[in-house]
Amino acid sequence: MLEGWGRFVDRRRWAVLGASLALLALSGVLLAQGGDLENPDTIPSTESGRASQLLSDELPRASGAPAGTSFLLVFRSETLSVTDAAYRQAVTGALAPLRADARVVGVRTYYDAPAAQAGLLSRDGRGMLAVVQLKDPRSVADAYFEELRSLVRSDSLTILATGSLPINRDFDHILDRDLQRAEIVSLPVALVLMLIVFGTVVGALVPLGVGLLAIVGGLGGVFLLTRFTEVSTYALNIVTLIGLGTAIDYSLFVVARFREELASGATREDALARSMATAGRAVVFSGLTVAIGLSGLLFFEGTFLASLGLAGAIVVAMAVIYALTFLPAILALLGPRVNAWRLPLPRHAQRGSGLWHRIAMTVMRRPLLVLIPTVAFVLAAGSPFLQIRLANADTTALPPQAESRRGYDMLVRDFPGQEQSSMTVVAYFADGEPLRPGRDAEVFALSRKIAALPNVLSVSAPFDDSGRVLPEAARTATGPHIVVMRAVSSRPGTSDDARDLVRAIRALPDPAGGELLVSGQAAFDLDAIDFIATHAVRAVAFIVILTYVALFLLLGSVVLPLKAVLMNLLSISASFGAMVWVFVQGHFSELLNFTPQALDPSVPVILFCIVFGLSMDYEVLLLSRIQEEYRRTKDNTRAVAEGLERSGRLITAAAAIMVAVFTGFALADVVIIKSIGLGMAVAVALDATLVRALIVPAAMRLLGDLNWWAPAPIARAYRRLLPAR
């Protein structure tokens, strides 16, 4: 089918080119229209997610709380005290433009009521907080926050803005900057590598052009997706990360095979047809395996992971489409001119005598001697993963120099109580009347039990010390079906003690006719880890099984797909170990400009789903080429050596390009993107060197002809369905 498609493209090259450019134009329109990107704060199906939803639905109506958002301004002087007249004058002057702005509801400082606002004063008396309340919710205030922030200036005081509004704004801006930096770093490096591989300017530019088209198509698809579902702000980074790497790789496979066929004397039509039947087939199956890996993210419905899976699948589909339409149409137009503008680079060795052939033969002479220590090394590289610590990303995921991060660090370091954590406990009664007579005593008793737990400093509830309901407090802490209590702990929200406290509160008996729900940072962490761990088993099983089936359809063997899955797991284990070694244990933290911290629970999931699919790029290309040689010679050892010789250089080039792309993202400032980029770069580098060059030839030599075995009924069905050419 793909051979016929290649001949069709050669005859109708202008029509196919026009259709692919029409798709590009549509993607450009969608990209220009844009869309709203956001990250859900909670997972709706978890206990903490349900508690947050109840608070959002019921508490504002009950309390009459303002609908707007707020942010903090941190003032500090190294020479003046807050009580000095000059300090007060500087603060008053800095805040005056905000107090006069119609978008600001109010500004609260230590000076308004020093006794009541003691928490706004730093421990050393040189720092002070101002709470700025805006009339609009965060989604609206985000558009004018930067303008408001620019109004607050002082010649004598350091002023930093922090809180959810500036923190989220910094995340968005830094993610955009990370994306631009990654493209600036990756594209020139990829071009240089392709110039080295092809030795011609035209041959190098074609894959790069396909990569850019795939990214535009993927980004357009993402913004179309925003009209139907919530899409994460990380989706744009994932699209560029995956799209650039896969599209260039796929184009590399096709262009290299087209040049090879032309060099062997084939006509342009025959060369294109043969390229589509071989490299094009590998591209289809590679795209399928990457899409299967990404589809594993759809098992995490209700989190931002599902949108990343959809976004990644869209850009992979675009990469495959352009590799099978735009690219062959361009090759049909260029013909032998794909070799135009040749560079004065040394030619690589001819068939059967090159470096990769010698490596394969050396490995296969002593397969066990190579296999055992290499596998042991990769497993050792993955061993730090056993010390992984998980927690939802917070402000520390921002680079230390970001203003909101600096303000947050100063807040926690200098102001009393800021290192503490708060847990919101919601008593929910489906029948309503949460504080009716009889029930109020039970809720009060529950608040006392919480107050008696270890590491609890205080519990606020709508009762006095004797258990009587306080009307004013009840107005702000009750809804139609809920009573809200807030437990303050002396332990940070990311600590094990805080998590133990959440477990202890959840272990308390539910009130009669009601249900006890806990939210807050520690509860979010516990629920996110549990949710991801529960769903990861099904996602991994789904990915492994479908990948196995896809590889069987490619190879007709029941053994090689199993070997391929095991090879992928080796690569992934090493990348997981590298992530923990760097980001949790803190190696190279100063060089890479981040704060050592627990990994976000989503990072291992994202990495597994992406890397498992991407690693199959090289497996598919290598095994497809080995399969060609095996069908021709029926000699397993020779087929492995010849296949590695014909694809090894290309795999190395493709891996180098992917590592360059991923390294561009490893230079990101947001820790989640940085860790994913580094993990993928490590996985691909190991996969294309130790795994493909050493472990695969050694394992295939030990298996011999068993590599190509399938039970007779399955083999007959396969030959009828997909006859060998």
Q: Quote the CA–CA distance of 134 and 229 in Å, as a whole number.
A: 28
Residue 724, pLDDT above cutoff 80: no
Q: For residue 161, list its beta bridge partners.
A: 73
pLDDT at 66: 47
| Closest-CA residue to 189 (of 220, 211, 174, 216) | 211
Tell me which DSSP letter residue 347 carries. P
Q: Quote the CA–CA distance of 395 and 407 in Å, as a whole number.
A: 10
CB 429 within 8 A of CB 482: yes
Q: Where in the chain is the domain with CATH 1.20.1640.10?
A: 1-33+199-347
User: Which residue's structure tokens are 């258990």?
Assistant: 467
Q: What mean pLDDT is predicted for residues 614-639?
A: 84
3-state secondary structure at position 330 = helix
Residue 72, pLDDT above cutoff 90: yes
Burial 260-291 (b: 16+ CB within 10 A, else e): bbbeeebebebbbbbbbbbbbbbbbbbbbbbb
CB atoms within 10 A of CB 61: 10
3-state secondary structure at position 373 = helix
Residue 372, pLDDT above cutoff 90: yes
Q: Quote the CA–CA distance of 324 and 254 in Å, as a whole number.
A: 9
Residue 61, pLDDT above cutoff 50: no
Residue 352, pLDDT above cutoff 60: no
Which architecture, in CATH terms, is 1-33+199-347? Up-down Bundle (1.20)
- In degrees and rounded to multiples of 5, residue 667 shows phi and psi of -85, 5
Residue 431, pLDDT above cutoff 50: yes
pLDDT at 84: 94
Strands 456-460 and 482-489: antiparallel
pLDDT at 23: 92
| Closest-CA residue to 5 (of 284, 203, 206) | 284
Query: Where are the extended beta strands (E) located within 173-283?
Result: none
Structure tokens at 524: 């979010």
CB 65 within 8 A of CB 59: yes
pLDDT at 446: 93
Residue 401, pLDDT above cutoff 50: yes
pLDDT at 501: 93
Mean pLDDT, all residues of the chain: 87
Comparing 146-155, 337-346, 524-533, 638-647, the range with the smallest average pLDDT is 337-346
Which is more confidently placed, 467 or 36?
467
Tell me which DSSP letter residue 337 carries. G
Q: What mean pLDDT is predicted for residues 242-260?
A: 86
Cα–Cα distances in Å, from 631 out to 124, 639, 724? Answer: 79, 9, 8
What are the tens digits of pLDDT across the range 269-278?
A: 999 999 998 8
Contacts of 581 (CB under 8 A, 6+ apart): 384, 587
CA Rg, the chain, in Å?
30
- The third-level CATH classification (topology) of the domain covering 409-525 is Alpha-Beta Plaits (3.30.70)
pLDDT at 345: 62
361-367, long-range: CB < 8 A, 24+ apart: 361/641, 363/693, 363/694, 363/697, 363/698, 363/701, 364/637, 364/640, 364/641, 364/697, 364/698, 364/701, 367/697, 367/698, 367/699, 367/701, 367/702
Q: How does residue 62 score in pLDDT terms, banded at 50, 70 and 90?
A: very low
Contacts of 180 (CB under 8 A, 6+ apart): none
CB 554 within 8 A of CB 624: yes
What are the tens digits of pLDDT across the range 130-175?
A: 999 999 888 788 889 999 999 999 999 999 999 989 998 898 888 8
Contacts of 48 (CB under 8 A, 6+ apart): 42, 517, 518, 519, 520, 523, 524, 526, 527
- In degrees and rounded to multiples of 5, residue 710 shows phi and psi of -150, 145
Please state whether 163 falls in left (phi above 0), alpha (psi between -120 and 50) or beta.
left
Residue 114, pLDDT above cutoff 80: no
| Closest-CA residue to 287 (of 27, 541, 550, 26) | 550
Single-letter residue type at 632: R
What are the tens digits of pLDDT across the range 276-322?
A: 988 888 888 888 888 898 899 999 887 888 888 899 899 999 999 99
pLDDT at 347: 60
Q: How does residue 491 score in pLDDT terms, banded at 50, 70 and 90?
A: confident
CB 478 within 8 A of CB 460: no
Q: Quote the CA–CA distance of 340 and 260 in Å, as a whole number.
A: 15
CATH class entry, domain 69-168: alpha beta
pLDDT at 722: 65
Q: What mean pLDDT is predicted for residues 377-397?
A: 88
Cα–Cα distances in Å, from 140 out to 68, 131, 145, 260, 304? Answer: 9, 18, 9, 57, 21
Q: Where in the chain is the domain with CATH 3.30.70.920?
A: 409-525
Which is more confidently placed, 6 or 616?
6
Question: Residue 72 belongs to what H/E stretch?
Answer: strand 70-76
Q: How does residue 67 score in pLDDT terms, banded at 50, 70 and 90?
A: low
Strands 456-460 and 421-428: unpaired
Q: How does residue 19 score in pLDDT terms, banded at 50, 70 and 90?
A: very high
Q: Where in the chain is the domain with CATH 3.30.70.1430?
A: 69-168
Comparing 67-71, 406-410, 435-439, 483-487, the range with the smallest average pLDDT is 67-71
Most confident stretch, 197-206, 379-388, 653-662: 379-388
Q: Quote the CA–CA distance of 702 and 367 in Å, as a whole number.
A: 7
| Closest-CA residue to 347 (of 205, 199, 206, 191) | 199
User: Which residue's structure tokens are 């009950």?
Assistant: 62
Q: Quote the CA–CA distance of 352 and 349 in Å, as a whole number.
A: 8
pLDDT at 64: 39
Cα–Cα distances in Å, from 541 out to 299, 538, 546? Answer: 11, 5, 8
